[in-house]
Amino acid sequence: MRYTTLNGRTVSALCLGAMQFGSTTDADTSAALLDRFVEAGGTFVDTADCYQFWVEGGQGHESETFLGRWRRERGVTDEVVIATKLGAQPTVPGAGLEAQEGLSAKAVATAAERSRERLGVDTLDLLYAHRQDPRTPIEETVGAFAELVARGEVRELGMSNHRTWRLERARAAAEANGWPRPRVLQYRYSYLQPRHDAALESPGHMHVSPELLDFVRTEEAAGREYTLVAYTSLLTGAYTRPDRPLEYAYDHPGTAARLAVLDEVAAESGATRNQVVLAWLMDHEPRVVPLVGVSSLAQLDEALEATDLTLTTEQHSRLTSAH
Catalytically annotated residues:
51
Taking every pair of Cα atoms in the chain, the longest distance, rounded to a whole number of angstroms, is: 54
Cβ(89)–Cβ(100) below 8 Å: yes
User: Of the candidates 94, 157, 121, 92, which has an alpha carbon nearest to the alpha carbon of residue 102?
Assistant: 92
Rounded (10°) angle between helices 62-74 and 27-39: 60
Whole-number Å distance between alpha carbons of 297 and 176: 47
Say if strands 44-46 and 154-160 run parallel, antiparallel, or are unpaired: unpaired
Q: What are phi and psi of 74, to 5 degrees?
A: -95, -5
**Cβ(33)–Cβ(183) under 8 Å?**
no
| Rounded Cα distance, 30 and 34, in Å | 6
Q: Which stretches of the chain are assigned E, i.e. beta strand?
A: 3-6, 9-12, 15-17, 44-46, 81-86, 124-129, 154-160, 184-188, 227-231, 288-293
Q: Give the dihedral sign, CA 42/155/31/227.
A: negative
Tell me how far apart the alpha carbons of residues 237 and 26 are, in angstroms, rounded to a whole number.
20
DSSP 269-297: HT--HHHHHHHHHHT-SS-EEEEEE-SSH
Strands 9-12 and 3-6: antiparallel
